[in-house]
Amino acid sequence: MPVWQRIYEEINDPNFVLICAAEDTGGEAAAGPIFDAANPTYIQVVDENHLISSAFNFVNVPSAAWIDETGRIVRIDEGTYSMIHSFGEGEQAISFGTDVYEPALKDWVAKGADSEHVQSPETVANNIRQHSSDQQKADAAFRLGNLFRMHGQEAKADEYWAMARALNPDSVNFIRQNLTLTEEGSAGETFREMMGEYISAGRDYYRPLDIKA
Amino acid sequence: MAEAFMAYPELRNPFDAKPIHPEGSATVLYQGKSITLSSVGQGDGLLIDPSDLTQINGFVLKAQGACFEDLCIPMTDDVLIEQDGKQWFSLTAFAALLGQPFVADHEAGVWSFAEIPAKRENMMLNAQAPDFEVTDRKGSVIRMADLKGKKALIVTWSSW
């Protein structure tokens, strides 16, 4: 989150709006402290029902949409990393992210439609995930499960969250959000097994980043 | 077992069991709203008072049908229903007409509706940003329409 605050301050354009939405059923208790640590001045949303992901057919975080002054989406559904993250050493070392997204974003804010990073309506429409009726139904099931969880009905919450995962197996959001409520959390062995199956099935959770370095 | 990582045991079930709505009521979930209906009809589907339709999904009943902006859906006998001299609107039959998926928990009396496909056509075909409505941490309502005239970057993240 601090990195997005830095980028927002560097862009410093009154005609640019940054909305960061935490897809977090844990609500303010889970996401609030992380927001606060960044001292953000951009718009912060704690999106307990994953409404933003649902609206744009996102299946993982971080994902993003760029929207121009007319309300047209000009880029969508890319892994929205503002830097390269590296962990571990030697054979255990892993890294992910990119350092080309931030300059591309700044170029678009400065140049608008003249930016080389603006995609045509046809390209964007092709890049929006096509969600089946079952996948849309999964959003309804997830919200129903969340309502039951908020009313202390854990068994029913689990039932409808399991339904959501089954109806939309592409959603990493659903997989990991559910796992936060388990003993081992969202990045344990179960997660690694599920992601192994996910990748083996040929699924992708971001569009390939189509920005040249 | 490996040490828990990105787990939130304190959030596993932080809520007390409490009723979703008063007895005899029903709850509708749509676009992040949770609407309690004190009066519903009897039947397999969800029969609502026609006057509740607009607060649920923005549709308005007119002579030509149920209308939202330029879209009007003509009414059919399975949508507008007479029951003991009272007229009801079947929200579930209407959803079927719209191709709108939903999930119901009949025991609890809760119906959760997905987005109406016709409301998303402009995004899927023309890359126009979809309507959405969320509330920020300051309590302000943020709608897509409010962003017109500015460039916007909408980024998702999570604590998990």
CB atoms B27 and A147 under 8 Å:
yes
- pLDDT score recorded for residue B30: 97
**In this structure, is residue B9 part of a structural domain?**
no
Contact B105 A80 (CB under 8 A): no
Tokens of A10: 């560097």
- Is there a single domain that holds both residue B33 and residue B44? yes
- Is the pLDDT at A49 greater than 50? The verdict is yes
Q: Are residues B33 and B83 in the same domain?
A: yes
Distance CA B19, CA B16 (A): 10
Are the Cβ atoms of B155 and A4 closer than 8 angstroms?
yes
pLDDT of B5 strictly over 50: yes
Q: Do B60 and B136 belong to one domain?
A: no
With beta carbons under 8 A apart, name residues in chain B contacting A58: 156
- Using the beta-carbon criterion (under 8 Å), do B157 and A61 form an inter-chain contact? yes
Instruction: Let me know if residue B109 belongs to a domain.
Output: yes
Whole-angstrom distance, CA of residue A161 vs CA of residue A140: 10
Q: Name every chain A residue with its beta carbon within 8 A of the beta carbon of B17.
A: 151-153
In a shared domain, residues B143 and B105: no
pLDDT one-digit tens code per residue, A50-73: 999 999 999 999 999 999 999 999
Is a pLDDT exceeding 90 seen at residue A79? no
Residues of B with Cβ-Cβ distance to A16 under 8 angstroms: 150-153
* Shared domain check, B120 and B97: no
pLDDT in the model for residue A22: 96
Q: Are residues B73 and B143 in the same domain?
A: no
CA distance A61 to chain B (A): 5
Q: Is residue B119 part of a domain?
A: yes
Q: Give me the count of residues in chain A.
A: 213
Picking from B100, B46, B148, the residue whose alpha carbon sits closest to that of residue A71 is B148
Can you give the C-alpha Rg of chain A in angstroms?
Answer: 18
B157 and A176 within 8 Å at the Cβ level: the answer is no
The domain limits of chain A are 2-127, 133-200
Nearest to residue B115, comparing CAs of B27, B29, B30? B30
How far does the CA of residue A10 sit from the closest CA of chain B (Å)? 14
CA distance A58 to A51: 10
| Chain A residue nearest residue B116, CA to CA | A136
Q: What residues of chain A, 1 to 30, have a C-beta less than 8 Å from chain B?
A: 1, 4, 13, 15-24, 26, 28-30
Number of residues written out for chain B: 160
The verdict on B102 and B140 lying in the same domain is no
How far does CA A144 lie from the centroid of its chain? 21
Residue of B nearest to A133 (CA): B101
SS3 A111: helix
> Which pLDDT score, from 0 to 100, does residue B111 have?
98
Task: Write the pLDDT tens digit of every residue in B59-93.
Answer: 999 999 999 999 999 999 999 999 989 999 999 99
Cα separation, A33 vs B58, in Å, equals 35
Best mutation target, A1, A23, A45, A194, to test chain B (most B CBs within 10 A): A45
- Choice among A145-149, B30-34, B42-46 with the minimum mean pLDDT: B42-46
Kindly state the tokens that stand for A133.
């009726």
Assess whether B77 and B66 both reside in one domain: yes
Structural domain of B131: 115-152
Q: Is the pLDDT of residue B2 over 50?
A: no
Q: Please report where in the chains the tokens 């119906």 appear, as a residue.
A: B111
Q: Verify that B65 and B137 share a domain, yes or no.
A: no
- A149-189, pLDDT tens digit by residue? 889 898 999 999 999 999 999 999 998 888 887 888 888 88
Measured between CB atoms, which of B15, B113, B123 is closest to A128? B123
Do B92 and B29 belong to one domain? Answer: yes
Residue B160 within a domain:
no
B100 with B137, same domain?
no
Greater model confidence, A197 or B89: B89
Number of domains within chain B: 2
